[in-house]
Structure 1
Amino acid sequence: MTRVELRQLRYFVAVAEELNFGRAAERLLIAGPSLSQQIKALERDLGVRLFDRDRRSVSLTSAGADLLPMSRALLEQAEGLRRRARRLSGADPVRLGYVTWLPADLAARTSAVARVDVDAWVAPSHTQAARVADGGLDLVPSVLASLTKGGLQSATKSLAIEYATRGIRANAVSPGTIKTPMHPQETHAALAALHPVGRMGEQSDVVDAVLYLENAPFVTGEILHVDGGMSAGH
């Protein structure tokens, strides 16, 4: 089988979503005849017909419908790889929106592991979720920190189910005792002893958890415990 290129998969997905070669070509900013030839080449490389088409209509074949979700997933993974690489290089910031409150010095706290751009527009959770779906934001902490553990789990799973079909993931980070100005230095030893790993958490531990969830496209409805094993017991 000839190697399949991501560009060809992008063309396939565009035609599958538009079910019209003309509109798909406009969306992709390429010529219609070129798009048609690329789809034919992809069908030849895969050994299956992806579309039934005549002068009036375009429709997915059963093979095309079967391969469409996998093609979308591959494109999403490739985009996730690109974003991850850019963030590792420091070239691409994490665009963060919020619903209620964020620490004023968040960017300074996270500067060692990621460049964060905090959006100044405070909006309801459903509005911010739509902005994530549209690509305007990367992350939105949208559940109040004052929820009980049971409430956090319920809210996270409910949001995950509600927004899954719109391509929006809902996850939560549940930290243990983290080194912040809330905890004086003289309390650190006692607080560290409460964690099975024998230390308090660092702010970077929470940031790493958020970045993990952001770069795990198949994870939704997850409550990630960043607590040194406290949730597992002693």
Structure 2
Amino acid sequence: MSELRRLRYFLAVAEERNFTRAAERLHIAQPALSRQIRELEKDLGVQLLDRTTHSVEPTEAGAVLMERGAALCEEADRLWRDVRGFAGGGQGTLAFGYSMSTSYETAPALLAALAERRPGIATTTQLLPTAEILAGVADGTLDAGLVRCPPPTPELVRTLVRLEPQGVLMAAGHRLAAEPVIDPVALAGETLLVHPREANPGHYDAITAILDRVGVSPRLMLRPLSFDAGHTPVVRGDAVSVVGGSAASSLPAGLVWRPLAGGVAIELHLLTRGSGARPVVAQLLRTAGETARAGGWLRSPDAAV
């Protein structure tokens, strides 16, 4: 480090062509600056500056050091900034898991904002079932996960990032497809496609509670696949499904989405470890808060689950 400091001192003198001005620029005493230059010349075994009463000029060796030393100092500055960036989370890697239901809009928007605002963070992503996301964050395989209605878990921190309005997904020819808004009561007698409760108890309970509140108990069809972007039973007309509004922008042909009356919403949370979280996680949480505010994701609907 002392060699790098002396190099900076030499460059200041060589650029100013004057010890007094260089000392003022460096905010050190002129005798101390002269001593440091002499020490540098002694270490290198070569004279770097021709000194006269009226001028200071780089020698041939000094000109080489001046030309290449400036680039060396710039690279050193970049290196120190990059390394210090790891301490604040501005640099590093982030392992991020998200569920299928968050992949339509929320996860892509959050990841895009992170890439734009924190370009020093390299993110690896995995599309996973909720149970695997919870386990991955808990054991450190994942730094963070985005899921619907996660259960309270002592070792994990839940950060609410979105209250997503819910609606009914149905075949375009369904009897309710022409309605602009669906009253939950209208789902009486329908078959509702849901994931098994063990896949995500919180989400299952939230969906069934929407209907329990109005005294509706539809037939339940358990979804056999973890990921079914085509919503196959719904397309066939065998069932309807309650899903978030973000799914409405990328529906397969033959499906429509209509909002549920009453401003029903489902919570989406970021999961992180309560202790041992790396600095990049703080940057993710900060970005999530900024993205949620900008997108109006946390506006309370008329009634939230």
Query: Shorter-chain TM-score: what band?
Result: 0.3 to 0.5
- Compute the TM-score of the two structures, normalised by the length of structure 1: 0.40
Higher strand share: 2
TM-score w.r.t. the length of structure 2 is 0.31
The structure with higher relative contact order (CA 8 Å, sep 6+) is 2
Structure number with bigger Rg: 2
